Amino acid sequence: MKWPSKDQVRNDIRPWLDTELKRHPEAIAVIASGSFIGEHWGVGSDLDLIIIVNESGTPFVKRAIAWDTSSISVPTDTLIYTVDEWRKMREKSYRLVLEAEKKGVWLLGQPPA
């Protein structure tokens, strides 16, 4: 089986991000995490994206619908949090937040203070 390389996915990310940021000016940070940043990349791997927005009136489970990731050559798992949600998860030491802030690749912005 053949699967896109990390380099191919990296090449997909910048134009995707440029396009989506024009559509979503509320985004203040974008983080790549998961197997893409680790040693376990291979056939079937997806790109885990965490997007932090100032605020949202959309329920969490529906937020990713508005983001078109079809130009990225692998499936994505996209999680979108508000700044307040991210801060609360950090205060509670959620593993997702701690690992993203420590090991994630920050494609845009930095961890909210």
In eight-state DSSP terms, residue 58 is S
Query: What are the tens digits of pLDDT across the range 58-109?
Result: 999 999 999 999 999 999 999 999 999 999 999 999 999 999 999 999 999 9
Look at residue 1 and tell me whether its pLDDT is greater than 80: no
Topology, domain 6-108? Beta Polymerase; domain 2 (3.30.460)
> CB-side exposure of 51: number of CA atoms within 13 Å?
24
pLDDT at 37: 86
Instruction: Please tell me the pTM assigned to this model.
Output: 0.93
Where does the pLDDT of residue 36 fall: very low under 50, low under 70, confident under 90, or very high at 90 and above? Answer: confident
**Domain spans, the chain:** 6-108
Q: Write down the pLDDT at residue 68.
A: 97
Helix (H) or strand (E) holding 48: strand 47-53
**55 class by beta-carbon count within 10 Å (0-12 exposed, 13-18 middle, 19+ buried):** exposed
